[in-house]
Amino acid sequence: MLKTVLKRILQCIPTVFIVVTFTFILTRMIPGNPAATILGPQASAADIEAMEIKLGLDKPIWQQFVNYILDILHGDFGTSYMYNQPVLRLIAERIPKTLQLTVTSLVIAVILGVAIGMFSALHQYSILDYLFMILALIGVSMPVFWLGLMVVKVFAVDLGWFPATGRGGPELLDMIRHMVLPCLCLATIPMATFARITRSSMLETINSDSIKALRARGIKERSVIMKHAFKNALPPIVTVLGLQIASCFTGAILTENIFAWPGMGTLIVNAITNRDYMLIQGTVLFFAIVFVLVNLVVDLVYMLINPKVSYEGGSK
């Protein structure tokens, strides 16, 4: 196990390096000058030049890149031009709010999606099966930004049931009311995905010869489904879970901006708007590391629940 973990971590290093390189290049391609953005439209050419020197933007691109890599290796993600604070401090302030939104949405999506998928598999070709799968297809096809605007219009503007923006106050009930719409928006696509994958995986499992043999031995149906069929259907669900974690984080960028949720999504958009190179690079690098670690954990969990997969990445 330890050898596998170390091997996977070493395989992730080139991926993170490629992300860092492309992010660095793309940030330099954003139209506009960070120094001019910081100083405002009334700044003189001399002031802009002095600010570029202060920010280190006067140096050749290759030297800026080398300095940035060396800083990362020392645990320094740089200082935000816009906030004049260390990037890691800004991330530490915002990431709990994003996790609050994404983890809640993912838990809702897993519980409801898996339950709907299992129900549809056990009641194949029923009216509810057709209804759930049609709704799941619609849910998978919906763009996050469109869904967010629609739920705001219907539930916040037209009906007035829930607040449209903000995170709410310290009171638990107020915070829950502010979370309802963004969580609904963010959970819809992964919930639909889990429903479809669970249904497909469960149908394949419950129609297998091993499950038929268990039923023939007179084992209770509930035990057959929960202890055997669902366990055998887990590997595809776990694989999709890893992808949906990444999807929820990326979807949070749009969702947070629609609902003015003060998390990583709004931080990234503000950084791009203000040409804050260090903040853009730091947040993208942070997300890349999170995605790599999530995929690593998912791979290891997959190996544990599926003995047919060896720790060297091949089948036994």
**Terminal C-alpha separation, the chain:** 15
Segments in 207-276 forming alpha helices (H): 209-216, 221-223, 230-258, 264-273
Q: What is the pLDDT of residues 245-285, one digit of tens each?
A: 877 887 888 888 888 888 888 888 888 888 888 899 899 88
- Cβ distance 57 to 278 under 8 Å? no
User: What is the model's pLDDT at position 153?
Assistant: 87
Place of tokens 């793309």: 26
The alpha carbon torsion through 248, 249, 252, 254 (nearest 10 deg) reads: -100
CA 105, CA 103: separation in Å to the nearest integer? 5
CA 286, CA 267: separation in Å to the nearest integer? 13
User: What is the model's pLDDT at position 307?
Assistant: 58
Q: What is the pLDDT of residues 4-22, one digit of tens each?
A: 777 777 878 888 889 889 8
Q: What DSSP character marks residue 49?
A: H
CA 50, CA 74: separation in Å to the nearest integer? 27
pLDDT band at 316 (very low <50, low <70, confident <90, very high): very low
- Cβ distance 258 to 149 under 8 Å? yes
- Spell out the residues 6+ positions from residue 200 whose beta carbon is closer than 8 angstroms to its own: 117, 236
CA 102, CA 90: separation in Å to the nearest integer? 18
Place of tokens 């947040």: 283
